[in-house]
Each structure stands twice: as C-alpha cells, then as structure tokens.
Amino acid sequence: MIALTLAEIATAVNGRLIVGDDGSGPDTVIDGESQTDSREIGPGQIFFARRGEETDGHRYADRAVDAGAALLVVERDVDRRAPQILVSDSTVALGALATEVVRRVRDAGGLTIVGITGSNGKTTTKNLVAAMAERTGPTVASAKSFNNEVGGPLTMLRVAPDTRTLVAEMGASAEGEIARLTAMAPPHIGVVLTVGLAHAGEFGGIETTFRTKSEMVRDLPEDAIAVLNRDDPRVSQMADLTRARVLWFGLSDGADVRATDVDASATGTSFTIHADGASLPVRFRVLGEHHVMNALAAAAVGRALGIPLADIVATLESATLAAPGRMEVLGGRDGITVINDAYNASPDSMSAALRTLAQIRKPEGRSVAVLGAMSELGEYSIEEHRRVGLQAVRLGISELVVVGDEARQLHISAINEGSWDGESTFFSEQDEAFAYLTETLRAGDTVLVKSSNAAGLQGLGDRLGEAYA
C-alpha cells in the first residue's frame, strides 16, 4: 500500500482515531498491506475487524496485535496496545480506503486499471492478463478469486506508487456489486467474458445476471475500452450500453482478436490468433478448448495495453494451468489421467468440461466423469442438473459417477436415457466414491472431477491424483 498517516486513513474511512499505547499518533505513517483474517497478519499491517455470519473479527483483534498489526479498523474499542480507527462498518471502511489509495495512485499517473467480470473464466483470464501486464511493469492482480466486496478492496490496497497495472477480478452475487467495485477502481479497460447461469439463483434470473455483468461497462468513459465477447449474444448487446470504444474477441469473423484452426487435445489446444492484420500460431497448454476464449480475451487486453502480438503469444504459450483446481492434470500411473476441475462449476463450465473429456479420451481407455452439484442455480437447479446428465449420455461418456445428494438428479437423468451404453453410479459420500473409483479404474482411463466449490470434490480430485501419481 502507499504510505498514509493515521490521520489520512481515518479521514479516508470516515472514522475516529484512537491512538495506541505504542506511542503512535496522527502523523504515524502506515504502508503495510491490509488483512481481514488475523491469521494472515504480519508486522506493520492493517487489520480490519469484520463481523461475519459465522464469527466476529473483533474477537481476534488481540491476536492481530500480537502478530504485529500496526493499526486496527474496528466497530468497537478492542485493544489499546495499537492505534484504532472506529468506524460504523468495517467492510465499508475497507472499500473506502481502497478507493482513496487507488485514486491517489491513479491521479499521480501511470496506473492502468483492468476490470474483468463474467459468469465463467474470470480467474483464468485475470491470470493471463496479469502475466502479460508484467511485461510492461509492476502489476497487482487479484489473489486466488478475490473478487467481492472484501477480496476486491484487499487487492486494490496492494497498489503501490510504482504499480503500472491493476488487474481486478470483479464478481457479484447481486445487482450493484460490480458497480461498487468499479467505483472503487474505475477501469480503463473493462472486460465482460460471458453471461450464463452461474449464480443465477442468487441473481434471480438470467436477465438480472445480464444487468449485473453490464455494470462493468455502463459507466466507462469515452476514452476507456470495453473488451466484449463477440460470440456471446448477451455480452454483445452491451456494446449499446457503453460509451467506451469496443474491442471484440471471439471466434466470429467480426472479432478484432479472434482464433481459427482450433484443435484440442490432451495436452492443450492449438489455434491461430488474428489481431491487427497479423496472424500467429499458438500452442496453448491450458487444457480445454473453452479456455481459448479466455486466451482471446486476455490477448485483447494485451493489445489494449500496447503489448506486441508476439509477446502476447509467448505469454499464452508459457501458461500451463488455468488455476489450481481448474482443468488441473494429475495422475499418470498406468496411463490413468485425472483432470481436477472441481474448484467451481456452472452449467456452461460443466458442459465445456464434459466436451473436453469426450475429446481427449484415449482410444484404449474409458472416459469417466465424476460429477458433483452445481450450486447457486435456484429455480434452474433441477433442470440444469438434468441437462448435464443428458449431455454426458449424448457425448458417449463411458461412466458417470455422481457424488452428493444435491447432484442426484444428474444420476437419475442419465440412467433414464435408455439408449446409453455407459453406466451411472451414485454415492452420497466422497469416501465411498473414492473407494469405488480406485477399485474400478482401468489402465488408460481419463477421469474428470467436476463440481461447484461448495460440493467439495476438489479434495476428491486431489486424492485420485495422488493415488495414480
């Protein structure tokens, strides 16, 4: 974070400063990172004590001070050993401080802000963009999937005076949340990847999802750039909602950055990228043809940042993993390949993962899909789980292993399809599924493990990867 005095921080968060017993005063300078988890606190950092659904951060303020916290942002007086700033809402204060830090660095010149949203692909695209941006200078990007009202500001507060690019993943579970994040860090480049059914249950429907995702580009100024998916009919409509210059990506001929000759395999996807009248071959080692769209989105941002196409291709070709738990290739013993893609799931990403499994299955082995529930679908849940079960059948997946009671509709849908030559097995518990799989997997099998994070199958994927390492 940039250096600020305690008085400046108090003003930024609209709080009241209480000096600590450590001798600090209004002119004491703080430049450490901010944390909301006392277990992550290091010397000189700021601890924001938040009240959550399961616990209250104020209970751990003393632990934060013991770990070296230089400042506590709190809603009640908790520990006088360190200075405190009393606020009415610690989460709001976190966002307010992030807004001030980003404003100061942006006003000083030299900082470009890239905001990325979409129903699928945010983290993969963010990682690729960050790798490209590093070629132009110091870059700050969201850690893990820090993309909400807490993770977003924590990322923004890592901006320093020499930061050239801030790459902010911006997610939402309700209307207005992306708008709040873009108000904290107004993008120079706003990216919308997809509008799908991920979180549709929370949003209340696909049209609400559309309105929410479009918040990324609605307030962009004329000198900004909106990077939009030409192939997604809902995203393409957003061109009419923004004043910014539109830069299209996709497979369509009308895309400014597009791909042709796409060829997926078990080692990645090759394609030819076209941009600004130039064309170059790409060997993209991230597994799954659907990740080509994320690569194209990142490439479009790279062009907007002024990065030469050859350097963009070099960055894409150096990437080997979308993110941990996302199409992560494990295993290898007896030719058994385990693809752990259980970090998250939506109907679109589930469909894409199943297509990948069908494409890369070894001729001598079977395709085995180990699937758990897709969460946050609301009224769409039964229908979408039913549809995925049918898709597994129609893609000719050899065996379906469904894990968890919330995913049972997948199993029922598959076994009701009488023409299927494969089989489906259901287990309520992961241990049962693990035991079954380790007993029945054969040499040459390709196994996909896919579910929403809440279903917890990422651990099952890791266990299978270790078992067949």
- Binding-site positions read 118-124
SS3 of 403-419: the string is ECHHHHHHHHHHHCCCC
Q: Which residues are annotated as a binding site for ATP?
A: 118-124
Q: How far apart are CA 124 and CA 134, in angstroms?
A: 16
Contact of 258 with 252, CB cutoff 8 Å = yes
Contact of 191 with 297, CB cutoff 8 Å = yes
Contact of 459 with 435, CB cutoff 8 Å = no
Contact of 133 with 189, CB cutoff 8 Å = no
Contact of 119 with 199, CB cutoff 8 Å = yes
Q: How far apart are CA 88 and CA 32, in angstroms?
A: 23
| Max Cα–Cα distance, the chain, nearest Å | 77
Strands 328-331 and 337-341: antiparallel
Sign of CA dihedral 104, 107, 110, 115: positive
Q: How far apart are CA 270 and CA 293, in angstroms?
A: 12
Q: How far apart are CA 127 and CA 188, in angstroms?
A: 18
Q: How far apart are CA 105 and CA 431, in angstroms?
A: 50
Q: How far apart are CA 203 and CA 379, in angstroms?
A: 11
Closest CA to 344 of 451, 462, 448, 196: 451
In degrees and rounded to multiples of 5, residue 155 shows phi and psi of: -65, -45
Structure tokens of 300?
A: 């479009």
Q: How far apart are CA 402 and CA 98, in angstroms?
A: 43
Structure tokens of 116?
A: 């990325």
Coil/strand/helix, residue 446: strand
Sign of CA dihedral 141, 147, 152, 154: negative
Closest CA to 376 of 208, 197, 228, 188: 197
